[in-house]
């Protein structure tokens, strides 16, 4: 009996040691979901020293200089819900250039709006082609995902490619940042955001205005989703109030502090 018990202990020990060496949850553990405590009293938020160091290593940016009252408007477009034209009208009236991070679906389904963005001087960002969790992909798969978007962008518009990117749902890891760098992409996250992506949960323009004005701070990179009627309705008042407070509006290209080299690439056709 004691021999069987000893054999059982040995087998159990081996299985436990194998589990520690295999680390089945490592891939999940290294995922980073972008987010932090919201800004208040016009004080920029902080991501923390560890995350700041990782972002700096790969030229990734989530806010501008804290001593300059400049705001950078960015929009994520996964699909069209009828409000992007209104947002573009507001930006044109206020003479503001923004960045629109698009998916492949948006490129295909809303090509006229994409062309309008380009014609009116807005920047197109790469939000991936199929909106996957990039942190679950290999570096080669990540590159192909971003390149697939760029190749389709070139086919449908006058642009050759994008140089700024943002991971779907703000989920990333170091490989995502590094893979993007290797094909000349710089990551831009955000320092102002709120729940605005539920198209069936309209809260009104005042809701969007309140969220934006409460979080306002120098160097803010604002994330909004164009599917929201709240954003379309609240954006004009926010811009006017921000200007009254002495803020101006810039483009995230002005924050290209990393000076990344942009290699030439294309996917096999």
Catalytic positions:
76, 225
What are the beta bridge partners of residue 192? Answer: 222
- Determine whether 256 is exposed, middle or buried from the number of CB atoms within 10 Å of its CB (0-12, 13-18, 19+): middle
The answer to whether 70 and 248 have CB atoms below 8 angstroms apart is yes
| φ, ψ at 42 (rounded to 5°) | 60, 25
Dihedral, CA of residue 203, residue 208, residue 209 and residue 211, to nearest 10:
110
Report the C-alpha gap between 240 and 250 in whole angstroms. 15
Per residue, what are the HEC states of 164-217?
Answer: EECCHHHEECHHHHHHHHHCCCEEECCCECCCCCCCCCCCCHHHHHHHHHHHCC
């Amino acid at each position: 009996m004691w021999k069987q018990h000893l054999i059982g202990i040995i087998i159990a020990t081996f299985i436990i040691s194998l589990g520690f060496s295999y680390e089945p949850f490592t891939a999940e553990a290294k995922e980073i979901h972008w987010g932090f405590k919201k800004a208040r009293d016009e004080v920029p938020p902080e991501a923390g020293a560890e995350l700041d160091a990782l972002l700096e290593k790969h030229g990734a940016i989530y806010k501008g200089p804290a001593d300059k009252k400049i705001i950078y408007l960015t929009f994520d477009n996964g699909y069209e819900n009828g409000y992007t034209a209104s947002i573009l009208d507001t930006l044109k009236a206020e003479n503001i250039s923004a960045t629109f991070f698009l998916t492949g679906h948006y490129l295909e389904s809303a090509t006229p709006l994409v062309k309008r963005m380009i014609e009116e001087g807005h920047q197109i960002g790469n939000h991936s082609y199929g909106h996957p969790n990039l942190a679950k992909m290999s570096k080669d798969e990540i590159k192909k995902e971003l390149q697939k978007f760029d190749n389709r962008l070139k086919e449908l518009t006058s642009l050759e490619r994008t140089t700024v990117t943002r991971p779907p749902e703000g989920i990333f890891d170091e490989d995502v940042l590094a893979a993007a760098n290797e094909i000349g992409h710089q990551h831009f996250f955000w320092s102002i955001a709120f729940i605005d992506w539920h198209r069936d949960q309209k809260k009104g323009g005042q809701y969007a205005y309140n969220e934006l004005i409460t979080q306002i701070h120098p160097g803010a990179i604002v994330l909004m989703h164009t599917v929201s009627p709240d954003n379309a309705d609240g954006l004009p008042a926010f811009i006017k109030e921000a200007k009254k407070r002495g803020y101006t509006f810039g483009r995230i290209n002005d924050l290209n502090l990393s000076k990344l080299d942009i290699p030439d690439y294309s996917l096999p056709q």
